[in-house]
Structure 1
């Protein structure tokens, strides 16, 4: 049973906080906690403005958020780690090689789909990333809420 889920991307200001919020909302009736961190986090920064706006446009309250750096301790605490790109799996395993069996793509159930970073690529890239994250989160939530 998964109790602690960690979502990881690079800066921890766009994709992972979006997925964290959506997955936390989808699993609100369970005892599962969801957090996020970045491989090269923009530590202390809030969510990127476009990512936050798209969440709010979809009816979600983008609560106060602060980016944090992924550490071995954070990896150890998580029961399941969801990443955005295949390269992220490798980078997480460099930090904590023993995490091998608990790191998966967020897009696992969409044919191992990767979700590219929308940072500095314009609003359309953020809208696209949000749609992919929403789809992937829905698939994970259905499986985790059982």
Structure 2
């Protein structure tokens, strides 16, 4: 049983906080803690404005998010670590080898789909990424 789910990307201001908010809403009322962190976090920055816009348009809110750097302690505390790209899995195995067995792509159940970084891109890139993350959250929900 998963009680602590962690999303990881690079800066922790676009993908992982959006996926965190989406998963938290999807699992509401189940007593599961959902959080996020970045491999190269823009520590203490809020969620990207375009990412927040897309969440709000769907009745969600990431405005309280503050980026944090992933650590071996954060990874150890998680029961499930969901990442956006294969290179994130590799980096996690370097930071905390013991977390490798519980780290997977968010797009695992969708043909191991990777979710590209929309940072500093136009809204259509964020919309594409949002759709991929929503699909990943929906796919994982049945296993949690």
TM-score (norm 1): 0.96
Give the length in aligned residue pairs.
Answer: 144
Secondary structure at 2:16 match in 1: helix
Q: How far apart are residue 82 of structure 1 and its match?
A: 0.2
| 1:141 and 2:141 are equivalent in the alignment | yes
Q: How far apart are residue 98 of structure 1 and its match?
A: 1.1
Q: How far apart are residue 89 of structure 1 and its match?
A: 0.1
Aligned twin of 1:48:
48
Task: Point out the more displaced range, 7-16 or 52-61.
Answer: 52-61
Structure 2: distance between partners of 1:35 and 1:115: 18
> Which runs of no fewer than 5 residues in structure 1 stay unpaired?
none
Deviation per CA, 1:53-85: give whole Å up to 9, x if none. Answer: 011111212341100000010001001000000
> Which runs of no fewer than 5 residues in structure 2 stay unpaired?
none
> Residues 1-146 of structure 1: matches in 2 within 5 Å?
1-144=1-144
TM-score (norm 2): 0.98
Superposition RMSD in Å? 0.7
Q: Post-superposition, which runs of at least 4 consecutive aligned residues in structure 1 deviate over 4 A?
A: none
Structure 2: distance between partners of 1:59 and 1:117: 23
Q: How far apart are residue 117 of structure 1 and its match?
A: 0.2
Secondary structure at 2:110 match in 1: coil
